[in-house]
Amino acid sequence: NVYQGGEVAKTIVGAKPKAAILRDLEGFIAE
């Protein structure tokens, strides 16, 4: 859900600290 179309991703960017975003991205890439 987080990465569909980039739209939800923008909402996450607004709602989370940058460090948390990077951590989520790393987890997504790792999988």
Domain range holding 23? 1-31
Locate 2 and state its tokens.
């987080």
Indicate whether this model's pTM tops 0.75. no
Q: Structurally, how many domains does the chain consist of?
A: 1
pLDDT digit string, tens, across residues 1-31: 555 566 666 665 566 677 887 887 887 777 6
Give the per-residue pLDDT at 24. Answer: 79
Burial class (CB in 10 A: 0-12, 13-18, 19+), 7: exposed
